[in-house]
Amino acid sequence: MEKSTPLVLTGLAVTVGLRTGLFNIGAQGQLLVGAIGAAWAGYNFQMPTLIHIPFAIVFGMLCGAAWASIAGALRAYRSVSEVITTIMLNAVAIALVDYLASQPLKEADQPLTRTPEIAETAALPDIGIVPSGFVIALFVSLFFGWFLARTTQGFRFNTVGMNPSAANYAGIGVKKTIFLAMAVSGALAGMGGAVETLGITGRFEPSFNAGLGFDGITIALLARANPIATIPAALLVGTLRSGAASLQFRTGIEPEVVDVILALTLLFVAAPIVGRLLFRNRATKQTTVSSGWGNS
Amino acid sequence: MHRKLLVAGFAAAALVLAGCSSDSSESSSEETAVAEETTEEQVEESEGGEEAAASVTTDDSDCAAPENYCIGLVTDTGKVDDKSFNQAAWEGTLQAAEKVGGFAKFIETTDPKDYANNIAQFAQANYDTIVTVGFLMAEASIAAAAEYPDIDFIGVDQFQGETIPNLTGLVFNEDRAGYAAGYLAGLMTQTGKIGAVLGTDTVPPVKLFGEGYKVGAQAANPAVDVTLVYHEPNNAFTDPEWGAAESRKQLDQGADVIFAAGGLTGNGGLIEIAKDSGAGTSVFCIGVDVDQYFTVPQAAPCLLTSAEKKLREGTEELVLLSYDGAFPGGNFFGPTGLAPFHDTEAAVPADVQAALAEVLTGLQDGTIDTGGLALLDN
């Protein structure tokens, strides 16, 4: 579950994007920015636990949101494909956090590239064997399940995702909605990074967060952009990932086989969509063709 | 759609449950195994700790039994065939296992957050000795050594500030490897000028490499002009552009043998020198840590040798010490030396090779004094 926690959140981040018709490949970059933001907020301040944890998480979310907003603004107001910008911003984010962790925010008097350890007051405790970050992630995904299905803003996200022109005709501010959805998506990814930093790693080290954001894409697709379904999907990916070392220990199978399994899973999940494209004529007679990932 | 979701949900749940149930059975069997171990240990002690060298351990099903010897190795994030630290340590481990009839196994770390978990895999299976590779794992090794006091831990390339009896850091006399490299450079130079492009002098091993190189060069050729440049402490090991630029500068100033030591910074220097038109005939480079002929193949044209930390031999020796119950704790200095010449062998005259071999033996048996740790005060 430790491994699944950030995955639920990055999965959600990609999900919210997909529902609004945005393919956010940049969850990795947003997560990194959020993680280092939370680490900074975690070690730089002294305050009581009850304030410190939310403060650090919210700060991480703001960092992630700000990072995603760059791509969001470009998409909404300049029509630059978010797929391209988020991928490119990933690379920028990696370089940025490397710089931050090796220069201004580096822990003094030691050679490693990393920030100091967060204050104890900012550390997320475990509830029994369940990391409290997982509980947070659970609530957040339930919230978004409700948000996307039952609120006006959620309806706007969905409508823009299904058909921007219709949404525009119906009086929804499409540009604003796209910008907002991207920021929310970034905030969720940033939250994933923050929870990971505060709950597990205790500090920011560039190599700590490898691949979490990219697994988020797998999870969102696996969950067919359903916020609630990201939980089992993230558990699946997290379990596979954490089992990799045991697998090698017990059977001698290379840990990379997990990546292969995940790729195959994704392939099979995507198969119906590909099939629909290939056999469009027959398929349209039976089902309606959807324009978004989440509406089948 | 909903049915599919449901199925996916069940599949995920089943996997999680499977994971949990195996965990619980694992922990219970572990408890019993620990209990067994304590009783067996007492037996062993009463027998005076005799080694059953004749027996061969073929699997890790019963590592707790005194006649079985199991060695685990956890890699830094990398594979055991990385042609660098992980591979050298694994080969050393295998050799030692073969010698004593022990069983060796590795786990390749894919996520740096898993260091502790991967070490725990071995510890919970009652492995006798666990090798952890790379200084990034230093903290995880210290924590594991405290948690499992009955297991010997070997921290490859992990300098120990405090002595922990069941944790030995495999470290090296970098000054000796540097001295040998410098001696060779001093003999090889035609221009009378040699150089070195180094990571920061605030990291002791790097400074020892550099100063040892200087001392060695001057021993070979008192008239030689040695230029050492150190990177500033920030991103000292990740600045290949700087390494390339400084190497170029030294070449332009007439240096014809350059020692590049400092992670990616040094590698940048090696690659730059290999591009020079005289590479391999009038201009040479020297690598560091492992045989860089394999780790930086682009440097092969100019690569004379590498000032090597002999990880394989060092790891093997430490595993054997652990097996014999003579585990030292603290820091253990592994052997150092020079890597083979490879492509540049023809360019090294026979008398230079002979003189170098003499120096290498002198360094090994201690008849040549490089100055040791006092070099750090230079």
User: What pLDDT sits at residue B195?
Assistant: 93
pLDDT band at residue A111, thresholds of 50, 70 and 90? low
Contact between B264 and B240 (Cβ < 8 Å) = yes
Q: How far is A54 from chain B (nearest CA, A)?
A: 24
Per-residue pLDDT at B30 exceeds 50? no
User: What pLDDT sits at residue A293?
Assistant: 53
pLDDT band at residue A28, thresholds of 50, 70 and 90? very high
Hey, what CATH topology would domain B55-158+310-336 get?
A: Rossmann fold (3.40.50)
Query: Mean pLDDT lowest for which of A150-159, A190-199, B17-26?
Result: B17-26
User: What pLDDT sits at residue B35?
Assistant: 37
Q: How far is B216 from chain A (nearest CA, A)?
A: 27
* Residues on chain B touching A243 (C-beta within 8 angstroms): 19
What average pLDDT does this structure show over A196-218? Answer: 85
Buried b / exposed e along B62-82 (16+ C-beta atoms within 10 A): ebbbbbbbbbbbbbbbbbbeb
E strands in B144-283: 152-156, 167-172, 193-198, 225-230, 257-261
User: What pLDDT sits at residue B316?
Assistant: 92
Per-residue pLDDT at A170 exceeds 80? yes
Of B263, B275, B265, nearest in space to B299 by CA? B275
Q: Which residue has the higher pLDDT, A174 or B372?
A: A174
What average pLDDT does this structure show over B52-76? Answer: 77
Residue of chain A with shortest Cα separation from B119: A245
If DSSP codes are grouped into helix, strand and coil, which group holds residue B170? strand
User: What pLDDT sits at residue A291?
Assistant: 53
Q: Do A226 and B5 touch (CB under 8 A)?
A: yes
Of A212, A226, A224, A209, nearest in space to A266 by CA? A224
Q: Do B15 and A256 touch (CB under 8 A)?
A: no
What average pLDDT does this structure show over B192-215? Answer: 89
Per-residue pLDDT at A54 exceeds 60? yes
Q: Do A112 and B5 touch (CB under 8 A)?
A: no
* Residues on chain B touching A239 (C-beta within 8 angstroms): 12, 15-16, 19
Describe the strand order of the beta sheet including B103-107 as a list of residue ranges.
B103-107, B70-74, B129-133, B152-156, B167-172, B330-334
Q: Do B110 and A243 touch (CB under 8 A)?
A: no
Average pLDDT for chain A: 86
Distance set, CA B95 to CA A142, B119, B315, B320 (Å): 54, 21, 9, 10
Percent of chain A with pLDDT over 90: 37
Q: Do A245 and B110 touch (CB under 8 A)?
A: yes
- With an 8 Å Cβ cutoff, the interface of chain B facing chain A consists of 1, 4-5, 8-9, 11-13, 15-16, 19, 77, 105-114, 117-118, 121-122, 125, 136, 203, 234-235, 238
Provide CB contacts within 8 A for B337, sequence distance 6+. Answer: B177, B180, B308, B310, B360, B364
Distance set, CA B319 to CA B62, B121, B153, B155, B309 (Å): 19, 19, 9, 11, 17
Of A103, A235, A256, the CB nearest to B12: A235
Query: For residue A149, how many other CB atoms are within 10 A of its CB?
Result: 13
What average pLDDT does this structure show over A130-143? Answer: 90
What average pLDDT does this structure show over B114-122? Answer: 89
The size of the A-B interface in CB pairs under 8 A is 75
Per-residue pLDDT at A164 exceeds 80? yes
Of B13, B110, B112, the CB nearest to A232: B13
Query: Mean pLDDT lowest for which of A76-85, A136-145, B124-133, B368-377?
Result: B368-377
Domain definitions of chain B by residue range = 55-158+310-336, 174-309+341-372
Per-residue pLDDT at B17 exceeds 50? no
* Residues on chain B touching A254 (C-beta within 8 angstroms): 108
Query: For residue A36, how many other CB atoms are within 10 A of its CB?
Result: 29
- With an 8 Å Cβ cutoff, the interface of chain A facing chain B consists of 102-103, 111-113, 200-201, 205, 207-208, 210-211, 222-224, 226, 229, 232-233, 235-236, 239-246, 248-249, 252, 254-256, 296
Quick one: tokens of A90? 């990933």
Would you list the DSSP string of A218-241? HHHHHTTT-TTTHHHHHHHHHHHH
**In the beta sheet, which residues pair with residue A254?**
none
- End-to-end CA separation in angstroms for chain B: 72
User: What pLDDT sits at residue A2?
Assistant: 75
Average pLDDT for chain B: 81
Per-residue pLDDT at A108 exceeds 80? no
Query: Mean pLDDT lowest for which of A87-96, A125-134, B345-354?
Result: A125-134
Per-residue pLDDT at B46 exceeds 80? no
* Residues on chain B touching A224 (C-beta within 8 angstroms): 1, 4-5
> CA angle at residue A70 from A291 to A7, to 5 degrees?
65
User: What pLDDT sits at residue B53?
Assistant: 43
Q: Which residue has the higher pLDDT, B360 or A296?
A: B360
User: What pLDDT sits at residue A210?
Assistant: 75
Q: Name the region of A236 (left: φ>0; alpha: ψ -120 to 50; beta: rest).
A: alpha
Provide CB contacts within 8 A for A67, sequence distance 6+. Answer: A26, A29, A30, A33, A34, A89, A93, A186, A190
Please report where in the chains the tokens 């020892």 appear, as a residue. B208
Q: How far is B23 from chain A (nearest CA, A)?
A: 11
Helices (H), A103-151: 132-150
What average pLDDT does this structure show over A210-229? Answer: 88
User: What pLDDT sits at residue A294?
Assistant: 53
Interface test with B, best of A129, A130, A197, A239 (most B CBs within 10 A): A239
Q: How far is B44 from chain A (nearest CA, A)?
A: 28
**In the beta sheet, which residues pair with residue B281?**
none
Q: How far apart are alpha carbons B55 and B51 in whole angstroms?
A: 9
User: What pLDDT sits at residue A244?
Assistant: 83
Of B29, B47, B31, B40, nearest in space to B128 by CA? B40
Q: Which residue has the higher pLDDT, B6 or B163?
A: B163
* Residues on chain B touching A242 (C-beta within 8 angstroms): 19, 114, 117
Q: How far apart are alpha carbons B297 and B299 in whole angstroms?
A: 5
User: What pLDDT sits at residue A41?
Assistant: 92
Q: Do B108 and A255 touch (CB under 8 A)?
A: yes
* Residues on chain B touching A240 (C-beta within 8 angstroms): 15
* Residues on chain A touching B109 (C-beta within 8 angstroms): 245
pLDDT band at residue A88, thresholds of 50, 70 and 90? very high
Same fold for the pair B55-158+310-336 and B174-309+341-372 = yes
User: What pLDDT sits at residue B25?
Assistant: 38
Q: How far is A76 from chain B (nearest CA, A)?
A: 31
Query: Mean pLDDT lowest for which of A129-138, A231-240, A273-282?
Result: A273-282
Does the interface ipTM go beyond 0.85? no
User: What pLDDT sits at residue B21?
Assistant: 40
pLDDT band at residue B315, thresholds of 50, 70 and 90? very high
What average pLDDT does this structure show over A47-57? Answer: 89
pLDDT digits (tens, 9 = 90+) for B216-257: 999 998 999 999 999 887 777 878 899 999 999 999 999 999
pLDDT band at residue A281, thresholds of 50, 70 and 90? low
* Residues on chain B touching A208 (C-beta within 8 angstroms): 112-113
A4-286 — its CATH code? 1.10.3470
Per-residue pLDDT at A61 exceeds 70? yes
Of A160, A44, A61, A157, nearest in space to A107 by CA? A44
pLDDT band at residue B55, thresholds of 50, 70 and 90? low
pLDDT band at residue B368, thresholds of 50, 70 and 90? confident
Of A236, A240, A249, the CB nearest to B121: A249
pLDDT band at residue B37, thresholds of 50, 70 and 90? very low
Per-residue pLDDT at A125 exceeds 70? yes
* Residues on chain A touching B113 (C-beta within 8 angstroms): 200-201, 208
Q: How far apart are alpha carbons B154 and B169 in whole angstroms?
A: 6
Of B112, B121, B238, the CB nearest to A207: B112
Q: Do B121 and A229 touch (CB under 8 A)?
A: no
Torsions phi, psi for A22 (to 5 deg)? -110, 135
B174-309+341-372 is classed in which CATH architecture? Answer: 3-Layer(aba) Sandwich (3.40)
